[in-house]
Amino acid sequence: MPELPEVETVVRDLRPLLVGRRFTSAWAGRLALRKPWKAAWKKRLVGRRVEAVRRRGKWIVLELDDGGRLVIHLGMTGQLTVTSTDEPRKAHTHLRFDLDEPIRQLRFRDVRRFGSATLFPSEEEVEASFTASGLGPEPFGLDPAYWRQRMASTSRCVKAVLLDQGVVAGVGNIYADEALFEARLHPSLIASALGDEAADRLRQAVASVLNRAIEGRGSTIRDYVGGSGLRGAFQNEFRVYGCTGRPCNRCTAVIERVRLAGRSTHYCPQCQKS
Ligand SMILES: [Zn+2]
């Protein structure tokens, strides 16, 4: 499932290809995504120019020149790419948007259809929707006092807290495991028992792991590709995620896997003491 680094990579790839371009037509397939595409949105979208492309959590926001916002979530298997119009349309392509630059198209492909594309009339409505879904702050530049307080006030394990999009936006299973390894914290530790020093270490580890993953263009486990269709490379840098049974590259102990917060959780039993 794409997490923050993958979504950020899509945004950075799409930005130079979309900003300043106008949508000249929109086509939606028969099968619905997680939220259905409304026919009325086509009329509202055609003729609009893209003014900015940005990310919020795992959401991609296209800012349009009439104040409207096309908001896209990649779900589990979504691929949002700008391709040549000539390029054969792959199966599971659910949305296509022609651009005023000849021969280019924005396409949304999603095998499992957990993704969505929604046209909001204004920035305010997008923000209201994010607030209603309880979306927490971005992981970069997090206020240390906020983070310490969130850790200190819950009896959940740190792995579960990292996955909570209301505490911090954009972190999923992969980068939660990698950040806990970086911070040398066992994933089953109770968050309120961390103390300020360990909480600070974890906050910094989250930002640093996510930044490195963005530099690596995200991780391709199955379907993920960036906005220009290229796969990610950060999966080659994983130190615990998917490394069960392999030696830790810090201490050579064997990486273990447990089920925690409903998710497969990977850690080094030597570096991440409980
Ligand atoms: Zn280790």
In degrees rounded to 5, what are phi and psi of residue 234? -70, -20
* pLDDT tens-digit map of 190-221: 999 999 999 999 999 999 999 999 999 999 98
273 is catalytic: no
3 is catalytic: yes
Q: For the chain, where are the E strands, in sequence order?
A: 23-28, 50-56, 59-64, 69-73, 78-84, 93-99, 104-110, 116-120, 256-260, 263-267
* Interatomic CA distance for residues 129 and 241, integer angstroms: 32
Class of domain 144-267: mainly alpha
The CA 247 to ligand 1 mean position distance, Å, reads 8
Q: Is the domain covering 4-132 a CATH 3.40.50.300 domain?
A: no
Would you give the DSSP letter of residue 22?
Answer: B
User: What mean pLDDT comes out for the span 146-163?
Assistant: 98
User: What mean pLDDT comes out for the span 79-91?
Assistant: 93
Is residue 102 pLDDT above 80, yes or no?
no
Band of pLDDT at residue 114, cut at 50, 70 and 90: very high
pLDDT attached to residue 138:
98
Catalytic member of 21, 48, 58, 159? 58
The CA 248 to ligand 1 mean position distance, Å, reads 5
Catalytic member of 2, 5, 139, 187? 2
The CA 255 to ligand 1 mean position distance, Å, reads 7
184 is catalytic: no
> Where would I find the H helices in the chain?
4-18, 39-45, 123-132, 144-152, 158-163, 173-182, 195-215
The CA 155 to ligand 1 mean position distance, Å, reads 26
Catalytic member of 15, 22, 156, 263? 263
Domain ranges of the chain: 4-132, 144-267
User: What mean pLDDT comes out for the span 139-168?
Assistant: 97
Catalytic member of 3, 63, 178, 182? 3
Is residue 131 pLDDT above 80, yes or no?
yes
The CA 187 to ligand 1 mean position distance, Å, reads 14
pTM confidence score: 0.95
Is residue 132 pLDDT above 90, yes or no?
yes
Write the Ramachandran bin of 261: left for phi over 0, alpha for psi from -120 to 50, otherwise beta. left
The CA 128 to ligand 1 mean position distance, Å, reads 43
The CA 181 to ligand 1 mean position distance, Å, reads 8
pLDDT attached to residue 263:
95
124 is catalytic: no
* Interatomic CA distance for residues 9 and 214, integer angstroms: 6
The CA 240 to ligand 1 mean position distance, Å, reads 9
pLDDT attached to residue 50:
98
